Amino acid sequence: MWAGFIFSLRQELIVTGIIFLLLFIKVGATEYKTAVILNLVNGLLLANFILGFIGCQDSILFSGMFHTNKLLVLEKNILNLGTLIISLQAYDWLKGHRQVLEFYLLLLATLVGFFFMISAGNLLMFYLGLELSTIPLAALSSFDLEKRQSSEAAMKFIMSSAFSSALLLFGISLLYGATGTLDFDTIGQRLDGSAFQLFAFILLLSGFAFKISVVPFHLWTADVYEGSPVTVSAYLSVISKGAVFFVFIQVLYTVFKPLAANWYRILVLLSILTMVTGNLFALRQDKLKRLLAFSSIAQSGFILAGITGSSRTGDASVIYFILVYIFSNLGAFGVVSLISAQTGKEGIDDYKGLYATNPLLSWVMAISLFSLAGIPPTAGFFGKFFLLMAGVGKGNYVFIGIAALNMVISLYYYLRVIKAIFMESQPEPIGKLTIPFLPNLAFLICVAGIIMTGLMGWVYDYIYSLSIGL
Amino acid sequence: MPNDAYIALIPLLPLAAFVVLGLFGRKSLLRLSGIIGTGAVLISTGLSLWTAYRYFAACLSDGACRLITPLKVTWLTFSPGLSIDLSVILDPISVMMIVVVSFVSLMVHVFSLGYMKGETRFGTYYAFLGLFTFSMLGLVLSGNIFEIYIFWELVGCSSFLLIGYYFDRPSAVAAAKKAFIVTRFADLGFLVGILILSFHAETLDFHTLIQRLTGPSPQLASITRASFLGISLLSWGLVLVFIGGAGKSALFPLHIWLPDAMEGPTPVSALIHAATMVVAGVYLVARLYPVYMFADPAVLRVVLYVGAFSALFAAIVACVQTDIKRVLAYSTMSQIGYMMFALGTFQAAGEENTLGYTASMFHLFTHAFFKALLFLCAGVIIHRVHSNEMKDMGGLRKLLPLTHGCFLIACLAIAGIPPFSGFFSKEEILLAAFHANKFVFAVGLFTSGLTAFYMFRLYFSVFWRRQSQDVGSHHGEAPLTMKIPLVILAAGAIFAGFVPFSRWVTYDGAPGKGQGIGGFAIAPVMLALLGMLLAGFFYQKESARPAKAAAALGGLYKFAYHKFYIDEVYSFITKKIIFNFIGRPAAWIDRNIVDGFMNLLAGVTARISARIKGFQSGRVQDYALYFFAGVAALAVLFIYIYT
Amino acid sequence: MNQVPLSHILFVSTALFFIGMYGLFTRRNMITMLMSVELILNSVNINFIAFNKYLYPEKLEGVFFSLFIIAIAAAEAAVAIAIIINLYRNLRSIDVEDANEMKF
Amino acid sequence: MNLSLLVLAPLITAVAVLFCRGLNRVRWVSLAGASVQLVLSFGLLALYWKERAAGNDAAMLFEYRHAWYLPLNIWYHIGVDGISVAMILLTAIVMEAAILVSWSIKTMSKEFFTLLLFLSAGAYGFFLSLDLFTLFFFLEVSVIPKFLLIGVWGSGKKEYSAMKLALMLTSGSALVFIGLLGLYYHTGGAGGPHTFDWVTISQMQFPAEVQRVFFPFLFAGFGIFTALFPFHTWVPDGHSSAPTAASMFLAGISMKLGGYGCLRVAVFLMPDAAREYSPLIILLATIAIVYGAFATMMQKDLKYINAYSSISHCGFILLGIGMLTRTAIAGAVMQMISHGLMTALFFAAIGMIYDRTHTRLVGRLGGLLKIMPFISTIFVIAGLCSLGLPGLSGFVAEITVFMGSWQHAGEMYRLATILACASIVITAVYILRATGQVIMGPVREPQYNGLADATWNEKLAGILLGAGIIAIGVAPFWLNDLLASGVGSIMDHAEKTSIIK
């Protein structure tokens, strides 16, 4: 029994184990070398990622509180991969930082939170996972303690998320009142689409929407991304968002299946709003992080479009896209992170003439941005194509037309960055930067992922074989 | 006649010369290029004469000339039945034409050996001449209406290249462009005409086309049934084809390019713009003559009047020009007008009158000799005087005795003085016109007198007028290569009239009756003599008479001198109207409206983006408020409105 | 003893919810805003307990949920206050209006 | 023959170029790669003929299928018919010439050649694709290289042009995308799997209302690529700002992607809608032809002249397609090939002139024939081809379009044909104006006198393209035969599935 228990919980346990290991080091060792710790942690994360591939059985623990199956394991592994890449990229930044251990403690705590959230079979478990990830994230946002922007970002984040989780909780409480249960399976059976339930659902939805930055619940996003350390922004944009999307689609497709007609309409509206607003704001940003923030909002809109497909294709496409999105967005954030750590420059104008001095970084950036824009042969193209293809499954061509139009708008601001890098020049361009081994490895993973994921169909096939339809 | 495939060599040899000289004529073969080009054309001429001999001998033995298609290669198939075949056909007019074209071309090739000697682009010159000769021979041998169009365009192109031979002279460039564009405009008519005829006849082959459109056939029914603006499509097609011909043959009002085309080297003018290319329009109408005959008579009436007017118009203008080549150019235009209206004289008071066809072809034949001769003489003169202006000449008869003689022969021929060749052909034309339309006959007669006048005006101005001078006799009249063609052509100009033309060249291939001219000739010859005398009166000696006469004519003289301002009208239409009212607005609209709209879309997007930035105010309380507003809005929308 | 009807309790919790919200939107002091959030959370707690007690008394899910909420609210408040203190170090103010450097 | 080689050859070369050191090696490796492409495509032509001669009359030859995204029924499916073979041949020739004229690129040459080769891989893939997803993939692949080539190595307002081109072409792709999805979801009928497979779809028959909705998306989307009025405005800016090789590729190949797509996807798969929209297509095409020609007349920059004339010439492609007669469609395809070669030659000549004189303004050039006879000659050949001189490919293509268009007997169609014919006169006007000013006339500026004529590589490029133009112009029958089966199957299909007549 214990073996099965440990086995089912192994991903959570490994990460928790790493947390405790780091905690012991923190408490036990009076002096340690930052570089050693970084290498150690990255090694552990790599091990964690690899161990995640061990096959598993579907199982349910804690009387329905905790579910696990192949799809969930895969999702967690995707998150593991993302965390690993982020950690590799953070090398340059953390090398000079005094609280490396604390950073990882908080970071991994959020990861565990996401794991539990993904595996949750009960609203209570879900809530606990959510908060376990949110609260440390707020602390992480303010990790550049002496920077005013970082503190401001953290304040905005914690205030907004407290408010959002309060609304979420209010929704949960109403849902509890309406159905008398917190168990996902039972809730599904007791939904009848009454106004009361719908109201509860909308409150619940707003909680999700907040985490995945859906308009009009997105306003914190840009400020927090801008103020937080780049690594944290990257983490927020891919891991946090990805994890919530995993849960969101799971919840919609299983728990709220009876309300499908309702949430379909809501999601279409929100998707359009999100794409349009995200793109329109991104158009005129001058700071790269902020631009990426709005771009990530727009991307959320596209993912929502995929979710509206309400089919197995939709589920598979969303998961696939998030995988691709991790590679692409982390490629871009990685470059920003490296340059920011070494020169402190984060504006688009600062990137002018980057290609002359740092061709490698420029190409990584370019490929990542093209992938974000959805241009082949990058994986982003496949991701977007499948999302919209799933979205059109319901026959709503107008909606997909708007989405396609938004792809064109989004291309503009990605190309603006590329234009600055490749075509423009400035008197004092960013000098030649040295790229340490670990970030280099991260870039390699990202670029390889961007190029290979799309061309190799089996990735999608595998996800599809696990995914669920409505 | 079996084994006729060799006929393909007639056009292909000059083509080979073009290719060889075009590739290597600039450097390695520069010196040899004249020999190569001339040699190729010499063989072609030999083959043409041989072909003509065999063909007409066969005619005599068969009693009638038949149409022979020795060669046919499918070039491009559009749809079943509708294909461009590169074919060679032999019938009286095509055989006659290959002789004329290759012969005149040979003369010009030989003449140019001396005339163009020392040019840096000597090889290129011969290459272009080869290209032209190829195209022109191909044109006359074409058995497919699209094939003729192909060569039609190619002669236009070689004409462009040769007019623009002195490419560093802006005037030559302008003339070349003008020639190409004006004929191109006319070709548009030809092309649409082809489309119409071929669509309904369902063939592009001349022979089949003529058969289908002249006899009872479903194709004929379809083309006469369909009509546009009340005129049958057949008529439209034929008129459009005629427009094509009129452009190439420089008929009014598409003649404006021809005088300017004199910017090219003089031998080129002799070949292209006098003897061969410009008569292609006449040849084209002649080629389709059975269809023209069969169609609405109004079509041939158009041909008749356009031809007659052009003849008269050009003759009047020629009387007052001062540039020797321009006079000749207008005279060419006038003579082509003659040929054309001869073709138009078909309907003669109810009965068929096919005399005009033969006469037209006959005049084409004789004209080639004397007009080429005139131009080559002019070439010698210009070579010597280094000017085109008549005022720089005068009294050259001693200096250029041979040229003088030849020029005189040619002038007599064109004026229609017996027994020179022009006399015979012109009388036939006038005779045909007399039978057909008295008014046109009168015009023709008057023009014939004018012709004599302006030709002798030219003759006297150049060779007499002043004291015979003997300037710079250190070199002779001209090199032998220039003299020989003159003599040969002069012989042609004298004797070509005695060819029993009407026996062979008739529209249906059967030998013609060969009407006697007899007493009918008196009036035209008298008029011609009158014209000559008048010219002698004015120009034989230096005097104030021409100026007085000009003053007496006043406005008319000025009008004619400015070519009736046709050029100005055209330039007004193109520069002022097309450029300013179509081209410029089109370009402007494209940049400002169409593209402006695209930019506007982008601008609007950017504007909206700027407008909504206040949404992201940076105050966390606002964010929470929007958050809540979002929830409320969703709740209202989806709970109370949509359910 | 007459039981208080559920609707009354729900009225109280809803009122609390909106009072909290009002506070969050209008108060400029960050600590006060945090307190307002706590009010909302408390309204949620009341909801849970009331629903549990009145509608589904056979299980204690609602009660337990509210226990977790209280615990997490405490954690959240701790982190939030830490962040606010840090912000105060940088900004010398805990007025929320002063923390709007990043916008548009 | 393994068709994927055509896509792989440029890709491998592109990667190899990245690892080259030194300008010379970069050039030679690129040239070698392009030559391999050329050899491959001629080999393909030979094999194709051999198969056809052997009596293989399948619609598509050398088909290859490989499951790509099985759950979505997306396959990597390639194959060729005569039309694709011709287009591939065109691409190979233009690429070879483009590499040759780029010899003088010195800044970032490695990247330049890599991108150029990458671009060609996309074009090959597009022409080979028999799966609509694959086709769309290759259509979009070219956006990155185009943007970078124009933006980095271009001239003038290059950033603006690059951006405009990228955005407008992507808008086109977006429309195509919607159309493709529409098709996809209407395949499968009764519960069967949806498919992107061109061959399978071509055996289906879409209801008229489906065609009516999705045809415009596909046609306009592809139309943007081929300068459909009024979405042509990227053409002048894009072409004029691009470096020579990119201009050659853009006008020569890229614009043909659109025409090919219109034909292969829009018209072939939705013939009823094509018939229904034919008047509109013809209206737009005629406007493009005439208006493009008039607008060209007023241009002062050589590249703008060629760009606007491309709009006009590509109008013929759309006109031919819109007429929906066998001959007209054959003419449209011929025009694609002819225009591809001709415009590439034109841009090559303009590029060479610009490299030497540093100006492209007609008014500041003159008398080049005396100074650089070779360049002038190819300029003139391209010009004459453009105005439709017989013996050069332009003539063949144009008359085929005219003949085919005339077969459409409606009065308005006739009018459109006549207007299109009339444009050849306008073409003559602007070509001769440019030629007269630039090539002929007195030498304009004294400093031009010492300029050198074409170098060996430029000569080779010119000869290659010129040979193509002449080969088609003198002997069009081989091209006609090559295209006949492809065009035939399109028309058979159009006639067979036609519901609305």
- pLDDT tens-digit readout, A250-291: 999 999 999 898 899 999 999 999 999 999 999 989 999 999
Give the Cα separation of B590 and D295 in Å (integer).
8
How many domains is chain C partitioned into structurally? 1
Tell me which chain B residues have a C-beta less than 8 angstroms from the C-beta of D399.
146, 191
- Residue the block writes with tokens 């279409």: A268
Tell me the nearest-neighbour CA distance from B113 into chain D, angstroms: 23
For B441-470, how does the pLDDT look when each residue is reduced to its tens digit (9 = 90+)?
888 888 888 888 888 888 888 887 776 565
Indicate the burial class of B309 (C-beta count within 10 angstroms; 0-12, 13-18, 19 or more).
middle
Strand pairing of B82-90 and B68-79?
Answer: antiparallel
Strand pairing of B351-352 and B347-348?
Answer: antiparallel
Residue A168's closest chain C neighbor by CA? C44
Q: Of the ranges B44-48, B445-449, D172-176, D243-247, which one carries the lowest mean pLDDT score?
A: B445-449
Contacts of B554 (CB under 8 A, 6+ apart): none
Tell me which chain B residues have a C-beta less than 8 angstroms from the C-beta of D466.
none
Indicate the burial class of D227 (C-beta count within 10 angstroms; 0-12, 13-18, 19 or more).
buried
Work out the end-to-end distance of chain A between its first and last CA atoms, rounded to an integer number of angstroms: 33
CB B239, CB B245: distance < 8 Å: no
Q: Of the ranges B388-402, B592-606, D266-280, which one carries the lowest mean pLDDT score?
A: B388-402
Work out the end-to-end distance of chain D between its first and last CA atoms, rounded to an integer number of angstroms: 40
Nearest to A302 by CA among A463, A410, A452: A410
- Is B157's pLDDT higher than 70? yes
Largest Cα separation within chain C, whole Å, is 58
For A163-209, how does the pLDDT look when each residue is reduced to its tens digit (9 = 90+)?
999 999 999 999 999 998 999 989 989 988 888 899 999 999 999 99
Determine, yes or no, domain membership for C56.
yes
Cis peptide before D207 (omega within 30 of 0): no
The pLDDT of residue B1 is 47
CB B212, CB B203: distance < 8 Å: yes
Structure tokens at D379: 């300029």
CB A418, CB D177: distance < 8 Å: no
Question: Residue ranges of chain C with pLDDT lower than 70?
Answer: 1
Give the Cα separation of A107 and A109 in Å (integer).
5
DSSP state of B511: P
Flag if B627 and A160 touch (Cβ within 8 Å).
Answer: yes
For D34-88, how does the pLDDT look when each residue is reduced to its tens digit (9 = 90+)?
999 999 999 999 999 999 888 888 888 899 999 999 888 899 999 999 999 999 9
Touching status, chains C and A (3+ beta-carbon pairs under 8 Å):
yes
Nearest to A144 by CA among A35, A223, A232: A232
Determine, yes or no, domain membership for C18.
yes
Give the Cα separation of A256 and A123 in Å (integer).
13
Give the Cα separation of A406 and D139 in Å (integer).
19
Tell me which chain A residues have a C-beta less than 8 angstroms from the C-beta of D182.
392, 397
Mean pLDDT, residues A358-373 taken together = 94
CB A88, CB A56: distance < 8 Å: no
Largest Cα separation within chain B, whole Å, is 118
- Is B197's pLDDT higher than 90? no
Which band of pLDDT confidence, cut at 50, 70 and 90, is reported for residue D500? Answer: very low
Q: What are phi and psi of B80, to 5 degrees?
A: -55, 130
The pLDDT of residue B407 is 87
Q: Is B427 helix (H, G, I), strand (E, B) or coil?
A: helix
Average pLDDT, chain B: 84
Nearest to C90 by CA among A227, A347, A157: A227
Indicate the burial class of A55 (C-beta count within 10 angstroms; 0-12, 13-18, 19 or more).
exposed
CB B137, CB D412: distance < 8 Å: no
Mutate to test the interface with B, among A219, A259, A402 (most CBs of B within 10 A): A219
Give the Cα separation of A170 and B175 in Å (integer).
89
Domain CATH code at residue C74: 1.10.287.3510
Among A392, A407, A457, beta carbon nearest to D68: A457
Which band of pLDDT confidence, cut at 50, 70 and 90, is reported for residue B510? Answer: low
Nearest to B314 by CA among B330, B302, B332: B330
Nearest to B354 by CA among B515, B516, B519, B523: B515
Mean pLDDT, residues B59-71 taken together = 81
Give the Cα separation of D285 and D232 in Å (integer).
11
Positive or negative: CA dihedral A360, A366, A371, A372: positive
- Residue the block writes with tokens 């939709």: A314
pTM of the shown model? 0.92
Nearest to A71 by CA among A322, A393, A387: A322
Give the Cα separation of A47 and A18 in Å (integer).
11
The pLDDT of residue A1 is 65
Nearest to B201 by CA among B211, B189, B191, B187: B211
Give the Cα separation of D434 and B136 in Å (integer).
27
Flag if D69 and A389 touch (Cβ within 8 Å).
Answer: no
Task: Mark out chain B residues that contact chain A at CB-CB < 8 A.
Answer: 605-606, 608-610, 612-613, 615-616, 618, 620, 622-624, 626-631, 634-635, 637-640, 642-643
Q: What are phi and psi of B477, to 5 degrees?
A: -60, -50
Neighbours of D410 (CB within 10 A): 12
Nearest to A189 by CA among A261, A256, A118: A256
Contacts of A389 (CB under 8 A, 6+ apart): A309, A313, A317, D72, D181, D184
Q: Where are the beta strands (DSSP E) in D13-162?
A: 61-69, 74-80
Neighbours of B337 (CB within 10 A): 29
Asked if C92 has any chain B CB less than 8 Å from its own CB, the reply is: no
For B303-316, how does the pLDDT look when each residue is reduced to its tens digit (9 = 90+)?
888 988 999 988 88
The pLDDT of residue D320 is 92
Query: How many degrees, rounded to 5, is the angle at CA B83 between CA B82 and CA B85?
Result: 145
Contacts of A200 (CB under 8 A, 6+ apart): A171, A172, A174, A175, A177, A178
CB A113, CB A76: distance < 8 Å: no
Nearest to D187 by CA among D208, D204, D211: D204
* Segments making up each domain of chain A, as ranges: 2-466
The pLDDT of residue B642 is 67
Note down the domain range covering C76. 6-91
Give the Cα separation of B43 and B29 in Å (integer).
20
Neighbours of C2 (CB within 10 A): 4
Give the Cα separation of A107 and A125 in Å (integer).
20
Asked if A283 has any chain C CB less than 8 Å from its own CB, the reply is: no
Exposed e or buried b per residue across B384-394, where buried means at least 16 C-beta atoms within 10 angstroms of its C-beta: bbeebebeebb
Give the Cα separation of B537 and B558 in Å (integer).
21
Among C37, C61, C84, beta carbon nearest to A166: C37
Q: Is A455 helix (H, G, I), strand (E, B) or coil?
A: helix
Give the Cα separation of B165 and B172 in Å (integer).
8
* HSE of C52, CA atoms in CB hemisphere, 13 A: 18
Neighbours of B601 (CB within 10 A): 12
Touching status, chains B and D (3+ beta-carbon pairs under 8 Å):
yes
Angle between helices D158-186 and D234-241 (to 10 degrees): 130
Give the Cα separation of D374 and D371 in Å (integer).
9
CB B181, CB D297: distance < 8 Å: no
Determine, yes or no, domain membership for C1.
no
Flag if B167 and D441 touch (Cβ within 8 Å).
Answer: yes
CB B282, CB B245: distance < 8 Å: yes
Give the Cα separation of B622 and B251 in Å (integer).
84
Average pLDDT, chain D: 90
Residues comprising chain B, all counted: 643
